[in-house]
Amino acid sequence: MTMTATLAIAGVAVPAVAVYAIVGVVVLGLATSLGWLWRRGRHSHRIGTPEDAAEAVEAALAGVRVAGAVVGADGTGALAVTDDGRVAAVRRLGARLIAREIGWPSVRSTATGILIETDDPRLGTIALAGVNVLDIRRLAPRLGSRFRAACTPAAPSLPNTKAIAH
């Protein structure tokens, strides 16, 4: 006859080994959850600087040099213009930045900033909060009329507004 230790839990005799196994699983689950939260907290979900966005574009598009880049105020997206007038959208995907070339007609101006509608399901629609058309124009001053035609307002102008003459 072998003797096994038992614990009385709610009036039921439970072998001690089962209790230790349950406690072990709970401790392991808590440790795994804390590790996941710690690792997740280390990565910023923001695009840090325009230089980071420019590096991502230069890495993604072979043979291009970025003339300028702008990051939205919330850091969720960026737009970069290359020396030859092409434009690329940038978004963070996990720990990496992904960049894709887009057409100028995909870039629209809204009341809250710039809206970039990409055809890439990984990028989706990118909103650059706090960025206006003037910021984009500063990135690519050589583009002239091609840029002005591409960055059309998303909504018609408000009625009862007056132009200010300088």
Tens digits of residue pLDDT in 77-87: 999 999 888 89
CA distance 91 to 79: 9
pLDDT of residue 140: 72
154 pLDDT above the threshold of 60:
no
What is the average per-residue pLDDT within 30-37? 88
Higher-confidence residue: 143 or 152?
A: 143
Higher-confidence residue: 114 or 9?
A: 114
Produce one character per residue of 62-74: b if its CB has 16 or more CB atoms within 10 Å, e if not.
Answer: eebebbbbbbbee
What is the average per-residue pLDDT within 54-62? 92
Strands (DSSP E) contained in the chain are: 6-9, 12-15, 66-71, 77-82, 87-93, 96-102, 107-109, 113-117, 125-129
Higher-confidence residue: 121 or 154?
A: 121
pLDDT of residue 142: 63
Torsion of CA 17, 21, 27, 32, to 10 degrees: 160
pLDDT of residue 21: 87
CA distance 146 to 150: 6
88 pLDDT above the threshold of 70:
yes
Dihedral-angle region of residue 10 (phi above 0 means left; psi in -120 to 50 means alpha; beta otherwise): left
**What pTM, to 2 d.p., does this model score?**
0.61
